[in-house]
Amino acid sequence: MKRYLLVTLMALPLTAQASTPEQRGFQVYRQVCATCHSLNQVHFADLTGIGLAVPDIKAYAASHQVPDGVDDDGDPKTRAAHLTDPIGSPYPNEAMARLANHGDVPPDFSRLAMTEEGGAKRIETILRSYAPKPVDVVLGPGSYYNTAFAQNHIGMPPPLRDGQVAYADGTKATIPQMAQDVGAFLDWVAHPHRVARSDTGLVVLAYLAGMTVLLALLKRRVWKRLKESRQ
Amino acid sequence: MSKPDTTPSGWLETRLPIVSAFRREYVDFAMPRNLTYLWNFGAFATIALALLIVSGIFLALNYTPSVAEAFNSIEMIDRHVSSGWLVRAIHMGGVSMLFAALYVHMARSLYYGSYKAPRELLWLTGLGLFILVMIAAFAGYILPWGQMSYWGATVVINAMNAVPLIGPALASWLLGGEGLGSVALHRIYVLHFVTGFSIVGVIVLHVAALHVVGSNNPTGVEPKASDDVVPFHPYYTTKDGLGLCLFLMVYAALIFFVPDLLTLANNYAMANPLVTPGDITPEWYFAPFYAILRAVPSKLGGLILSAGSLAVLFAVPWLDRSRVKSARYRPMLRWAILGLFLTFIALGVAGMHKPTGLWLAISRVSVAYYYAYFLILLPLLPKIEVTRPLPASLRGESV
């Protein structure tokens, strides 16, 4: 017993450090994407779902200021965000978001992996498909060369460069690696209960399968009377 | 009264005989002995509806019917309300399961002639139920206030406006003046509830009518001798129970493992009146009627054909002139009705595609056949069809 406890204790710091694709993707979101993209439907507390520790999430929330009504003079007040606040948008309002982005609002990330045709894989492809503009291609202001689109351009400037973030787990932060991690994070954001869903589903299906077998036996036994009485 | 007034059950029996009524209608009730598993689908639909109502009540506790909050409150249910994702999955999957059960239930009635005398009222109350379910499903789909909610509702309201005389008045009565906004959303929310609970009332009528005339059976021959029938319990409690387990397994597989299969992803983007989606597609269960709506180049014409495709069903008990009920003994109708089922499925597939080229042609041929089946084949086939001999009793039928 004591030995197991010891082994568990030794393993603890390791598991705390080992980061998952979703956790790395969150790190990229936090340091890169969050400059422009909102997560309006996701609360800080939800981040426990990808295994982040509560104190870390609290610290992350505290770095955000959210509106907090008005003070006695009628001036707007702010406070540090709580765990139950939405992660929200980097811009105070839609007009500011448009002003900063050539008239477009950067899409909210909450369901992007669902609404974007092709899902998280598509997002990963877009992030990996920036390339130097060929000389004969003319792009308008606010357009960037990206081969993932039929018309070969996108309104988002290339967001990632190699080594942009320093992953806590030591993974090398190449563009393909970061694109894949962001895809994994956004996939979780769009389907936050996927694991609980399939786990519950297995239990429900197993129960129903058991019931099916029992009822099939019962039904056979009951209907046998009818077949016997016919002879 | 067999029991004296002195026992509690005897006391209840003399005042409200629900125990003996239940025993009469659900234990001893005489059922044809040869019903196939196709006779389970009415029970399936009832269970799906019960799950919809229970899950719907829990969703209503957390839903806000306003343009500003509707979408956010659904996201809140899906993400933050305890087990909210499960309740919502049961509700969303339940609609598809209910429609699937109803389509099979209706197809079975058409195939085995369950709409014929003396079961006309059973058929009519059933059609009334189907229309109420369609209204409830349409209203319910608007509530999450996603892109498809908004634009699907817009398509239907435009169609409503195309109805001469009453259309615009009806549409403005539903919308309440300011177009598709918060007032309309609140009304649609109330409509969803009212139709949902009205369905329960009409089910009572439907089942009461069933218990007067009894179930039809695959031969269409009415049971005569006492050994043509078996008591509901234990025979059909076990058979329905087994079917129900399988039905629930399909339901569970759908909501737990492929929840996105039956929903359109762009309904997870909030309604935006300024951005029309590239293609407005209905949920699968409305697709056949949507295909009919778009099969002709006239808005009013499409509406008449689409509404007529339901209206013609109300006349079916009187359009079918054959004295034989079941298609089993009608060699020509058997092929004709298989054609009807195929065209309905073809319409469903066509309704999910843009109405151009091949899909438009398929829609038009299918609409033509759909109407021809009811208006030409059903009344005229009996004149030339030689039916096969009917069995004298149900005793020899396989069970």
Q: Do B242 and A212 touch (CB under 8 A)?
A: yes
Confidence of residue B393 (pLDDT cuts 50, 70, 90): confident
Set of chain B residues whose Cβ sits within 8 Å of the Cβ of A196: 85
The reply to whether B255 touches chain A by the CB within 8 Å rule is yes
Confidence of residue B261 (pLDDT cuts 50, 70, 90): confident
- B150 and B25 in one domain? yes
pLDDT at A16 (0 to 100)? 47
- B150 and B55 in one domain? yes
pLDDT at A4 (0 to 100)? 63
Q: Active-site residue B260, yes or no?
A: no
pLDDT at B1 (0 to 100)? 45
- B229 and B142 in one domain? yes
Is the torsion defined by CA of A136, A140, A145, A149 positive or negative?
negative
In a domain, B223, yes or no: yes
The mean per-residue pLDDT over the stretch B322-326 comes to 95
- B327 and B202 in one domain? no
The DSSP symbol for B297 reads S
ipTM given for this complex: 0.91
Proportion of chain A above pLDDT 90, given as a percent: 82
Question: Residue A226 is encoded by which pair of tokens?
Answer: 């009818």
Say whether pLDDT at B2 is over 60.
no
pLDDT at A5 (0 to 100)? 58
Q: CA–CA distance from B177 to each of B144, B170, B183, B258, B298 (Å)?
A: 21, 11, 8, 40, 27
The reply to whether A211 touches chain B by the CB within 8 Å rule is yes
Residue with the bigger pLDDT between A209 and B158: it is A209
Confidence of residue B278 (pLDDT cuts 50, 70, 90): confident
- B201 and B312 in one domain? no
Of B72, B230, B259, the CB nearest to A226: B230
The reply to whether B260 touches chain A by the CB within 8 Å rule is yes
Q: Active-site residue B215, yes or no?
A: yes
Query: CA A177 to CA A181: how far, in whole Å?
Result: 6
pLDDT at B179 (0 to 100)? 84
- Mutation target among A114, A123, A186, A195 for the B interface, most CBs of B within 10 A: A114
How many separate domains does chain B show? 2
The reply to whether A112 touches chain B by the CB within 8 Å rule is no
- B155 and B220 in one domain? yes
Q: Do B80 and A46 touch (CB under 8 A)?
A: yes
* Number of other CB atoms surrounding residue B222 within 10 Å: 14
Residue with the bigger pLDDT between B34 and B3: it is B34
Confidence of residue A13 (pLDDT cuts 50, 70, 90): very low
Proportion of chain B above pLDDT 70, given as a percent: 98
Set of chain B residues whose Cβ sits within 8 Å of the Cβ of A190: 268
Q: CA–CA distance from B378 to each of A104, B126, B130, B369 (Å)?
A: 59, 20, 22, 12
In a domain, B276, yes or no: no
Considering only alpha carbons, which residue of chain A is nearest residue B267? Answer: A115
- B244 and B302 in one domain? no
Q: Do A223 and B242 touch (CB under 8 A)?
A: no
Of A43, A114, A218, the CB nearest to B268: A114
Identify the CATH number of the domain in which residue B362 sits. Answer: 1.10.287
pLDDT in tens, B4-13: 678 888 999 9
Say whether pLDDT at B156 is over 50.
yes
When the pLDDT of each residue in chain B is averaged and rounded to a whole number, the result is 94
Query: CA B372 to CA B305: how far, in whole Å?
Result: 13
pLDDT at A84 (0 to 100)? 95
Say whether pLDDT at A64 is over 90.
yes
Considering only alpha carbons, which residue of chain A is nearest residue B245? Answer: A212
Say whether pLDDT at B185 is over 80.
yes
- B45 and B161 in one domain? yes
Q: Active-site residue B283, yes or no?
A: yes
Set of chain A residues whose Cβ sits within 8 Å of the Cβ of B75: 41, 110
Of B79, B238, B256, the CB nearest to A198: B256
When the pLDDT of each residue in chain A is averaged and rounded to a whole number, the result is 91
CA A205 to chain centre: 28
- B335 and B251 in one domain? no
Considering only alpha carbons, which residue of chain B is nearest residue A84? Answer: B80
Question: Residue A112 is encoded by which pair of tokens?
Answer: 């992007």
Set of chain A residues whose Cβ sits within 8 Å of the Cβ of B85: 192-193, 196-197
In a domain, B397, yes or no: no
The DSSP symbol for A70 reads E
Give B254 to chain A, closest Cα distance, Å: 9
In a domain, B392, yes or no: no
- B362 and B217 in one domain? no
Say whether pLDDT at A36 is over 60.
yes
Q: Is B225 helix (H, G, I), strand (E, B) or coil?
A: coil
Say whether pLDDT at A231 is over 70.
no
pLDDT in tens, B350-371: 999 998 899 999 999 999 999 9
The mean per-residue pLDDT over the stretch B218-228 comes to 92
The mean per-residue pLDDT over the stretch B222-227 comes to 91
- B224 and B92 in one domain? yes
Query: CA B202 to CA B204: how far, in whole Å?
Result: 5
pLDDT in tens, B279-313: 888 999 999 999 999 999 998 999 999 999 999 99
Contacts with A, B 7-46, CB within 8 Å? 33
Confidence of residue A15 (pLDDT cuts 50, 70, 90): very low
- Mutation target among B233, B266, B268 for the A interface, most CBs of A within 10 A: B268
pLDDT at A63 (0 to 100)? 94
Query: CA B235 to CA A229: how far, in whole Å?
Result: 14
pLDDT at B335 (0 to 100)? 97
Phi, psi dihedral angles at A86 (to 5 degrees): -70, 150
Say whether pLDDT at A105 is over 80.
yes
B170: containing domain: 19-258
Q: Do A222 and B234 touch (CB under 8 A)?
A: yes
pLDDT at B263 (0 to 100)? 81
pLDDT at A14 (0 to 100)? 46
Give A207 to chain B, closest Cα distance, Å: 9
**Run of H or E residues at A30:** helix A21-31
Identify the CATH number of the domain in which residue B94 sits. Answer: 1.20.810.10
Set of chain B residues whose Cβ sits within 8 Å of the Cβ of A198: 256-257
pLDDT in tens, A147-204: 999 999 999 999 999 999 999 899 999 999 999 999 999 999 999 999 999 999 999 9
- Name the active-site residue from B215, B306, B363, B366: B215
The mean per-residue pLDDT over the stretch B227-241 comes to 95
The mean per-residue pLDDT over the stretch B215-243 comes to 95
Considering only alpha carbons, which residue of chain A is nearest residue B82? Answer: A193
CA B366 to chain centre: 21
Q: How many CB pairs under 8 A join A and B?
A: 84
CATH of segment(s) A19-196: 1.10.760.10
The reply to whether B265 touches chain A by the CB within 8 Å rule is yes
End-to-end CA distance of chain A: 66
- B141 and B231 in one domain? yes
Query: CA B232 to CA B214: how far, in whole Å?
Result: 11
Confidence of residue B24 (pLDDT cuts 50, 70, 90): very high
